[in-house]
Structure 1
Amino acid sequence: MSLQTVNDLLKKHKLVEGMLNNQPMPRRKLITALVQKQHMAELRGLLARLSAIEIGQILHSLDLEDAGLVWQQVEESRQDDVLWELSDTLREELVGDREPHCGVGQMSAFELLEGRLAKVSITCRHDLYAIKPIWIDLLAPSKAQRLLIGQHYGLELPDPLDLTDLEASARFYVEDQHEIHIHSDFLLDREGKSRSVPVAFILRGDMLFSVRSEELPVFRLQRLRARTQPGFVSDCKDMLLDLYGAEAEYSADALENIYEQLEIVSKKVLSQDISDEEAADILTDIAEEEDLNGRIRRNMLDTQRAVSFLIRRKLLNTTQLEDAQQILRDIESLNSHTAFLFDKINFLMDATVGFININQNKVIKIFSVASVAMLPPTLIASIYGMNFENMPELQWMLGYPFALGLMTISVLLPFIFFKRKGWLR
């Protein structure tokens, strides 16, 4: 429907332009300008409502002259997105050697030079021709960037925002072209706010591709190690295993922080007196540590599955297999720590709730004693409120002071009794 509308506008434009060729020159220029302005305004409005994919399909369906006319009406801010939808031939015919801008994300390629990892920033397609990387890392890539890498290496890179929608059964699989796809969660514990960041890995031949939406401490650490330590990595599978190993180390550091925070909370909980406000703050701290501990346990189980998947696929050499087994042993030890921390968190939670119950019981105790103490004076007041004629103290001048004194004594006696029994403390 959109293609038909564009064709109709182009036909009208050509028809009017042909009719105006018979008009006198001064008048022809004026009318031509007005007609072109009207038709091109309609075309720009139509293109503004279409997606980049639809515009690309329309440009491929037109001849070169009409495609050039339509291309001129595409908003400049959208031209890069549309260029990624065009074939290389049509793109060169429309804009020549112009390379579409890749977007705001970061694309980095890593080569092995003398045993060290060397980083090469990728800004356009030409940067890929002169390198032989073992790892290409995409941080918050745009669709254009994913298409650039995917078209050059012949694979499809996923959108990092879609990784959280994957089911667990679709996180590890093998494509027909022997592409190993692994989707894992990596821990990000920053400023007391922890979360899991999904990362997509693709192993294809001698190259590792990673796609993620946020910068992660594990990735920074591995890049630093590989650049400064010769022989730290030898191929893409080494890189992937080292990332999982660094994730286990990072999780272990996060567990140590949980131990420290719970030690502080324990001192507060085991103090002699805790107010309700302090107890509320303690429960908040415990809940945060419990959330982080649970997140670490979940990520470790996810990493365990990923490493086991690599072992089952028989992709690793002898040295890498030993490294993978060591990672699995580290994860097992971390799982024991997370289980212990869960027990400790539950104990502190129960203890804090117990102190809150004690504080509430104290309040209830005061009301209970007060209600019991007020029963005798209530009874006395009820008796004297009946106004019997045969009660001589009602006519006595000191009758009311006597009744008030009697009620006061009836209040004091229960308090003295409870005090001697030790029920009031």
Structure 2
Amino acid sequence: MSEENKRLAPEALEKGLADVHLDEVRSLLSLQKRVEELVEPLLRDQDSLALDEASAEIQQQYRRELRQKLRLMPPKEVAYILEALEANERLVVWEEVKEGADPILAILSDDILEELIDDSHYRNEKTVVTAFELHAGHLRQITITRPEDLQGVHPIWVDLIAPTKKIRGWIGRRFEVDLPDPGSLTDLEASARFYVDEEGHIHLHSDFLLDTREESRNVPVALILQNDILFTIRTEELPVFRLQRARARTRPGYVTDGKDVLLDLYAADVEYSANALEDVYAELERVGRQVLRSHVTDQEATEILAAISEAEDINGRTRRNVLDTRRALSFLLRGRFLSDAQLADGREILRDIESLDGHTAFLFNKINFLMDATDSAININQNKDIKRLTILSVIFMPINVLAGMGGMSEFTMVTEGIPWPIAYSALLVGMVGIGSCMYFGLKYFEKRRLKSNRAANRRTA
């Protein structure tokens, strides 16, 4: 067999196996459909509950067999089967594999992907599109699921959470704006994150803080201003956006256009960052009381170090978050995109950020102090352990010498004529006596040293 045939043989074998499994899946789907076709007219004529239950049981049996077969296939093979099936058959198979289907979705083509998740629970869990328009001074929230929902809507804010390529496409065509993929917002250069495109649309890529009990991280968000309409695109829900929606819905006149919404999002982000710093203050205060006690065990020191590391991580992320917000606001102020009232709001937010800088710097210093104090407590515990081992080695040194003598032939010669139980009992008593003398002697000299140190301290005082 040639080298090329050897290389292609595994791929051909894989495809052959996938085709066999595809035929099996099609056979099961065909049988299931055949049962439905046979039972449906009987149900219309007889309206029998027993017949309906029997049909449902047969359907469940085919579903179980299909589910079991699909579970044993690798994701690549399942993706191949999904792409090869007809649309209605594809949806039946998708219902059986959609739990934990991320590896399969990563392989599927965009068209098949859109078709599968467009109306499924998978999309509903992650993808949310919401438009907000002004109504009597309040923001009215409108959930968008299809292009027809945008007819007659004049929003000032369109919020997209994990939008698919298809959704970004029809929203972009409706408003004549290019919406980026939220999963690729990783640019670090300011020129790539804050710019005005050829159509005059303002693009900002900012990080917003997500601080929960489980984790703390920065989530990138794309913000686009186009004709006083703000578009926000991100991968997940964020507390700052929930807060902004609640305020805008309940306070009349709170916002009037997309720029107001943008500035209020940044203001809410700074406020959220300040709350995160307050939590860090509270955590470090608790840790500080624990560190500055008279004694800290190694287990407690481990927990303290973990808490300090977590506080340092949150503080660092918060500092980066407000720095990113400052860069975005500076870009808006320099570009003269805002009205006089909005300029005043932007400068007020920048002053709030400057006040947070002092807090983050103070927290870094406090974290370093607590880290050093915890390291010192660990070193003290280690010194105590070394001291105990040293004392034990001094105590047992003469005992080891006597034990070594007891094991020599000379000891037998010295104790010749003395019964060995008496000789070795005397040796053991001598070892215990010498060890006790060494222990109490060391303890006595240690007390004398401490007393002399106290007396010297009193004299110097």
TM superposition score normalised by structure 2: 0.67
* 1:75 to partner: Cα distance: 6.2
Identify the residue that residue 360 of structure 2 maps to in structure 1.
338
Out of 324, 338, 349, the position equivalent to 2:371 is 349
Amino acid at match of 1:348: L
* 1:208 to partner: Cα distance: 0.8
**How far apart in 1 are the matches of 2:401 and 2:411?**
19
Amino acid at match of 2:151: Y
Out of 314, 319, 339, the position equivalent to 1:292 is 314
Whether the 8 Å CA contact 1:186–1:198 is kept in 2: the answer is yes
Identify the residue that residue 311 of structure 1 maps to in structure 2.
333
Q: Secondary structure at the match of 1:422?
A: helix
After superposition, the Cα gap between the structure-2 partners of 1:385 and 1:84, relative to the gap in structure 1 and judged at 3 Å, is closer
Whether the 8 Å CA contact 2:204–2:223 is kept in 1: the answer is yes
After superposition, the Cα gap between the structure-2 partners of 1:303 and 1:409, relative to the gap in structure 1 and judged at 3 Å, is same
Out of 246, 265, 268, the position equivalent to 2:290 is 268
Q: Report the structure, 1 or 2, having the larger helix content.
A: 2
Out of 408, 414, 419, the position equivalent to 2:432 is 408
Amino acid at match of 1:185: D
Question: Aligned ranges for residues 79-118 of structure 1 at < 5 Å?
Answer: 82=111, 103-104=123-124, 105-118=127-140
1:419 aligns to 2:443 (yes or no): yes
After superposition, the Cα gap between the structure-2 partners of 1:127 and 1:378, relative to the gap in structure 1 and judged at 3 Å, is closer
Whether the 8 Å CA contact 2:405–2:411 is kept in 1: the answer is no
**How far apart in 2 are the matches of 1:302 and 1:389?**
82
Amino acid at match of 2:174: H
**How far apart in 1 are the matches of 2:417 and 2:212?**
81
Whether the 8 Å CA contact 2:230–2:258 is kept in 1: the answer is yes
* 1:376 to partner: Cα distance: 1.9
1:21-44: per-residue Cα shift (whole Å, max 9, x none)?
A: xxxxxxxxxxxxxxxxxxxxxxxx
Identify the residue that residue 28 of structure 1 maps to in structure 2.
none
Whether the 8 Å CA contact 1:387–1:394 is kept in 2: the answer is no
Out of 178, 189, 196, the position equivalent to 1:168 is 189
**How far apart in 2 are the matches of 1:162 and 1:83?**
21
Identify the residue that residue 30 of structure 1 maps to in structure 2.
none
Out of 113, 126, 145, the position equivalent to 1:123 is 145
1:257 aligns to 2:279 (yes or no): yes
1:141 aligns to 2:163 (yes or no): yes
Amino acid at match of 2:194: F
Question: Aligned ranges for residues 143-292 of structure 1 at < 5 Å?
Answer: 143-163=165-185, 165-169=186-190, 170-292=192-314
* 1:347 to partner: Cα distance: 1.8
* 1:306 to partner: Cα distance: 0.9
**How far apart in 1 are the matches of 2:89 and 2:425?**
96
* 1:401 to partner: Cα distance: 4.4
Amino acid at match of 1:225: R
**How far apart in 1 are the matches of 2:357 and 2:141?**
35
* 1:244 to partner: Cα distance: 0.3
Give the alignment's Cα RMSD to 1 decimal.
3.2
Amino acid at match of 1:179: H
Amino acid at match of 1:347: F
Amino acid at match of 2:368: N
**How far apart in 1 are the matches of 2:163 and 2:373?**
48
* 1:350 to partner: Cα distance: 2.1
* 1:421 to partner: Cα distance: 2.3
Amino acid at match of 1:375: M
Aligned length: 345
After superposition, the Cα gap between the structure-2 partners of 1:363 and 1:81, relative to the gap in structure 1 and judged at 3 Å, is closer
**How far apart in 1 are the matches of 2:373 and 2:87?**
70
Q: Secondary structure at the match of 2:152?
A: coil
* 1:382 to partner: Cα distance: 3.9
Q: Secondary structure at the match of 1:321?
A: helix
Identify the residue that residue 328 of structure 1 maps to in structure 2.
350
**How far apart in 2 are the matches of 1:51 and 1:312?**
52
After superposition, the Cα gap between the structure-2 partners of 1:84 and 1:259, relative to the gap in structure 1 and judged at 3 Å, is closer
Identify the residue that residue 5 of structure 1 maps to in structure 2.
none
